[in-house]
Structure 1
Amino acid sequence: MSESVIGESALPPAQGEEGHLSLALVNSAIAMPGGHTVDRLGTPAQTNQWLTERGLAPVDAGMLDMCASQLRSLREQIRSLFAARAAAVPALPAAVAAVNDAMTRVPTAPLLQWDDKSGPYRATPHPTTQIVDHALATLAADAADLLTSPDAERLTACGSPPCNRYLLRHGRRHWCSTRCGDRARAARAYARRTRPGTA
């Protein structure tokens, strides 16, 4: 792995990630200069670590390829919704449906259970078998909350290509990190120096 790949994977959270897990999810795949991508959900182990760091799964959850794939799929659907909101264009119906589907995977009321010895009781099924469903529901609900909150007005893509992260704009800042801000300023300065007719 190159130094730039390692450095980019250590980027600080983008503005707003601390308050919105869905923003952290969308930013878990990072496009970098040179065409490299760091995917923090690239393997089941990385997915487990990402979920554990956010309190969405125990350390020993034992994620499978299918689990990581489900999370990556939701990430792309939420990314699509964030892009539509930031650009003020209609969202893809499939992305809206995917978020709604993820939110409804987890029961909101304790379900009726039946034990052969003690009889009926009510309980919420718990994560041992449904960790991914709980994580998907939590992330989807957070995305829905963000998209329908006043914060949605501040949702924007990082203004330093090729970075693909999203952030909640604070003032005039349109970059997800100091590194991206420096890169954008350097590109603007280079463009001014190399413009025809400038000395």
Structure 2
Amino acid sequence: MRSMTENEAAPSDRSVPPAPGADRYLALDFANSDLALPGGRSLDLLGTPEAATRWLIERGLASDDARLQEVCARRLRDLREQVGALIATRIDALPAPPEALRAVNDALTRAPAASLLAWDRTQGLHRAQAHPADQVADHALAVLAADAADLLTSPDADLLAACGSPPCRRYLLRTHGRRHWCSVRCGDRARAARAYARRTATP
């Protein structure tokens, strides 16, 4: 599968509607950030440091002046793979992979959980989460890992499903317990594939 580079005229993540549930769980949006596109192409929204930085900024996980290096972007991609593995095994009712559990728990412990007491002239005394510029990745990883843990241990975990329209590899929360497509586009493609299979089936 050919991956699109930053210089190609590729659709952004904003041109692809979020999968059901991704607006409620950032971890689901995170797991879905490696997109399969028509024509055998793919678009990795964390594929470069610039793309990963933009993804974090757009989701409020980094300030506008943040700049990730490749080592941090790779850590995000690695955690995404492990979160995806946990979601996949939860859908299939399989044991959670130990390496995925370790990766999520490691990310959970990398950033301070408590909001610190701070003061400035505008707000006076207030609580603020401390994540200086050199800890942007740690903070983002901790937030994403916590959200993944919340999703996977919530009643919503029973609604997790993989999109049923290959080659899409996104996950979703089923609506009304029925939907297995992440978007109208994927639903249309699946219905078209079934119709074609019926037309060409050997009697």
Distance in 2 (CA, whole Å) between partners of 1:128 and 1:45 is 15
- For the pair 1:84 / 2:89, whether they are aligned, the reply is yes
Match of 2:51 among 46, 52, 76: 46
- 1:61-140 aligned at under 5 Å gives the runs 61-109=66-114, 125-140=130-145
- For the pair 1:168 / 2:173, whether they are aligned, the reply is yes
Q: How many residues align?
A: 186
Secondary structure of 1:160's match?
coil
Q: What 5-or-longer segments of structure 1 have no aligned partner?
A: 112-122
| Aligned residues of 1:103 and 1:141 also touching (Cα < 8 A) | yes
Residue 148 of structure 1, CA deviation: 0.2
| Aligned residues of 1:5 and 1:32 also touching (Cα < 8 A) | no
What fraction of aligned residue pairs are identical, expressed as a percent?
61
Change in Cα spacing, 1:196 to 1:110, as seen in structure 2 (3 Å) is closer
| Aligned residues of 1:31 and 1:163 also touching (Cα < 8 A) | yes
Secondary structure of 1:38's match?
strand
TM-score (norm. length: structure 2):
0.85
Match of 1:56 among 56, 61, 64: 61
Deviation sequence 1:149-169 (CA, Å, 0-9, x none): 000000010000000000001
Residue 7 of structure 1, CA deviation: 8.0
Match of 1:194 among 183, 200, 203: 200
Match of 2:15 among 6, 10, 32: 10
Distance in 2 (CA, whole Å) between partners of 1:55 and 1:110 is 16
TM-score (norm. length: structure 1):
0.87
Greater CA radius of gyration, 1 or 2? 1
